[in-house]
Amino acid sequence: MDSFINEDELYIRLLFTSDGSEESIGWFVDDIHLILNQEMPDVSVNDEFVLPSTVELYPAYPNPFNPVTSIRYNLPQAGLVNLKVYDLMGREIRTLTDGFENAGMKSVLWDARDNHGNMISSGVYIYRLEAAGQVQANKLILLK
């Protein structure tokens, strides 16, 4: 380890991976550079968090996708939330969320599987959010 230390700097290497099956698509951390003996800048934190006045459904990312996409939405208040994926014939493919959720930003991953766990085919799909008495929908494209 001595070869990684000089008088003012210390290098630490971390390798972290996520498979994307939980709350996000996945992220990686590599090569952290710590600089010692330097003054820390004054950093203030804004504790104010503003909720939206209406439900906000954001474009899925990535889109087109294969095999996983993230669907984000922002809720102005706590309440019942229903998020489903449909094919272009209007048939329900997958229920992603159906229940009570607190207000704030949410993110749901869809792994291109139907309600039975089967992989679906390439095509155009609609994801539809019902919350706070509002309905919003957007298009998704699965490319294999």
CATH number of the domain bearing residue 60: 2.60.40.4070
What span, in angstroms and rounded, lies between the C-alpha atoms of 110 and 69? Answer: 5
| 129 part of a folded domain | yes
What span, in angstroms and rounded, lies between the C-alpha atoms of 18 and 67? Answer: 15
Q: Order of strands, edge to edge, in the sheet holding 92-101?
A: 92-101, 79-87, 123-131, 134-142
Higher pLDDT, 19 or 111: 111
Domain that holds residue 62: 56-142
Tens digits of residue pLDDT in 21-74: 555 545 555 555 555 555 555 555 555 556 678 899 999 999 999 999 999 999
Kindly report the pTM of this predicted structure. 0.65
| 27 part of a folded domain | no
DSSP label at residue 2: G
| 33 part of a folded domain | no
